[in-house]
Each structure stands twice: as C-alpha cells, then as structure tokens.
Homo-oligomer: A and B are copies of this chain.
Amino acid sequence: MRPVRVGIVGYGTVGQATARIIASHAQDAHQRSDVLLNVTKVCRRTPVTSADLPQGAQLVTDWRQVVHAQDVDVVVETIGGTTVAGEVVRASLESGKPVVTANKNLIAESGEKLFALAAQKNLPIGMEATVAGGIPILRVLSESMSGDRVQAVYGILNGTANYILTQMETTGAGFEKALTEAQKAGYAEADPTFDIDGIDARDKLCILARLAFNARVSPTDIATIGIRQVSDVDIHYARRLHSKIRLVAMAERNYDGLDLSVRPWLVEDHSMLAKVEGVNNAVFLQGEKVGTQMFLGRGAGGDPTGAAVVSDLVEIARNMVAGRVAAKALSGFTNWNNATLHPGRRAVSWYLRLTVTDRPGIIARVAEVLAEKEINIDSVFQEPHMSKERLSFVITVEPVLKATIQAAVKLINQFDFMKEPVLLLRIDNSSESV
C-alpha cells in the first residue's frame, strides 16, 4: 500500500508532536484504519536537530518547498499566525492538496473564504485541532449531532485562563501573581493577551458556533471580556457564594437568532463548570433531543493537539486511498445561514463587584441606580476591616437582561467614589442538569 505523504509547515510543539505520533502510531493506524502515514517534508526556518526530524523526512526552510513538493500529498499547517499560515493553506488547496490545520485564529478569521476555496477544489480542510485540543468536539458537532438540533454550545475553551483562575482559587494568589506563575509553568505565553483577554476562546467559539448552527459568524460578532479584571477579592467573594469563577464562551440559540459571548461567569461549586480545573477544557452541548452533554479533557499541549491533527490526517488519508473526498470536512461550511445576533435576550442573575473609596451612603446611591432600572438586589456582601481607600463589596442581583444591567453599571461607573469600573460576572445558577 502506498503511504499517504505528509508535509508539515511550522515545526514547533504541535508540528513535532504530530510527527512523533505519526511515527509511533503508524502500526495502529494501519491496522485500525488501513492507512499508512509518512512525513516526507518538514518546514522550519530555525535549525532542527536531526533527532527531532522524522526518519526519512527532508528539512526545508521555505514553505513553498512543502506545498509544491511532488512527494507531499497532504499539508499540515502548524505555523501559527494568520498571514503566512493563510498563504500556506490557500496555496496547498490551489495545488490540489488537502490541508490540516491547528490554527484557530486563521479559521475564525478566514474560515469562510478558505472553505469556499476548499469546496471549489473539492478538497477537505481538517481542523479538529483548532478547538479544545484532543476533545473531538468538531467531529461530534458536524457528524454526531446530525440527528439532533443544537440549542447551545458553551464551555471553558481556554486552558491558560482556567489555570490562572484555578491557581487563584487554590493558592490565594492575585491575578498578576497567578499569571506570572502560569508563565513560569509554561501554561501562559510571554504575551498572554490572547488567552487572558478571551480572544483565543472567542475564536474557538466562533468555529463551534458555525458548525453548531450553520451560521455565518465572525469573531468580531462575539462580545468578549477576559479575566484581567478578576481579582483575589472576587475569588474570596465567590467562595462566600459557594461558587467559582470561570471564563465561559457561549453560543446559544435565542428566538430566531444567536447569542454569543465570552465572559467570566460565577458558577456554583457543585456545577460541572466549576469542576473543570487547571488547563482542562470542557464543552457542553445542549441538543433538543440528546439533552445536555459534557466533553471534558486536555484542551491544549503538543500531544493532545497533535493527536487531533493525526485523526484528521487518518480520515483524509482513508478517503484519499478510497479515491473520494472527506465529505465531513466540507459539509456545514459551505451552506451557511446569515446569523441574526440577539445578544443577551435571556434574563440572568449578575454579580457586581464595586471597588470604592469608602464614605457614607455609597450602597444607598448604588441601590438607587439599581432600583431605577427595576433591578432587584439578591444579596450584598462586604467583608469587615477593608481599607477605606480601596474597599471592595459585592452585590448580586436577580435575573435581568444584559442590556439592563449594563445600563445600570454604566451609571454606577460614573460615581466619583468608584476606584475602578464595576466587575460584572454572569451568574449561572441553572445548575445545568447534565
């Protein structure tokens, strides 16, 4: 049997893991799926020691030498970024080669165009690795949910942010300290913006929402708030509320449209969202018929991501050997609806943390604003012995629409006693009945 020859562009953590898995699992893949994968070309601009190169593979420094190589049947794009990566994917498709990518930014930003090109060329783009590492959530959405209608897909899609929040919970560290530790542990990058500001989660949600709802969604449609403003004070108040703080990305069917957001939630201790700790990812899928399902696992790292890349490669190889296109990778990406966005059409409870210069009458002023907007206060927490100069207290309110609470927050932020803007967390007290 002729092996399917793989070229890898971008030979960092994921690219190398992919090559290692192909080498170590060749036998299994052959037996299970009747395909042989073989890495023939690797592109990386900086030197690679020969021990890190797959046996028999040629190292090149220009990606065109992979994409246009005679001995490459499928291209793996693990270069990252969107500029060169986009060129690599386009050029591969143009030269008749299927592509597998782990690049969520690229797919979120340019997925529609790339999939249109792929459809035109009748070629698949594998992208299982773009969301939630080894958790095969894209395959589940595109294939297994074909017997159901998705109501919502949501979850914890960024392991770095979740690691930081979990560290703050367990060590009592503040945000900055937890971030530094995550960087030391290799869980956060030197520039952590993508992870902690929710951009990475947003891009993943964008991909999930397209598949779940067949909807034309772009990353900028998604209101995105990260965890930068979450402080040790919030972790403390969360504990008093028997809750934890989680960065949740959610896409929900809402009347005739979609509600999309990435923001920190306050989730009850006994909820499944609260159980997701450290660098794990969890995706919740609410189907009309199947009810709520949860998929939990490692969301990043070379090995899980590499395994997802290889699962796409095996599927593509299997189809190439049989002389057909991988239908799955194309379907659901060429037949989009225009999404109507209805952000926040469902009333939910909220957590407001205010940090103020203390003086008499503050709670009265805040309560007045809330009353004016017809928002009912559910509870107020203020710890004793806080500095008058920087006093933090928390108000939780009964369910209202996002627009309503945001209008109130806007007014509250204008008070001169406010030391920083209100931190607003969505409270999930649905105790999702998985």
Contacts and interface: CB of A to CB of B under 8 A. Distances in A.
A148 B307 contact: yes
B139 A311 contact: no
Contact of A289 (B128, B306, B332): B306
A116 interface: no
Contacts of A295: 293-296
A288 to B, nearest CB: 8
Interface string A135-171: 1100110011111110000000000000000000000
Contacts of A304: 289-291
Contact of A136 (B34, B140, B324): B140
A389 to B, nearest CB: 39
B296 A290 contact: no
A312 to B, nearest CB: 8
A140 B315 CA distance: 12
Nearest to A294: B296
Interface string A280-292: 1000000101111
A214 B28 CA distance: 9
Contacts of A136: 140, 143-144
A419 interface: no
A interface, size bucket: 35 or more
A223 to B, nearest CB: 26
Contact of A143 (B31, B306, B315): B315
A335 B313 CA distance: 21
A342 interface: no
A114 B149 CA distance: 31
A287 B28 CA distance: 13
Contact of A148 (B25, B289, B312, B315): B25
A272 B306 CA distance: 26
A32 interface: yes
Contact of A331 (B34, B272, B296, B311): B34
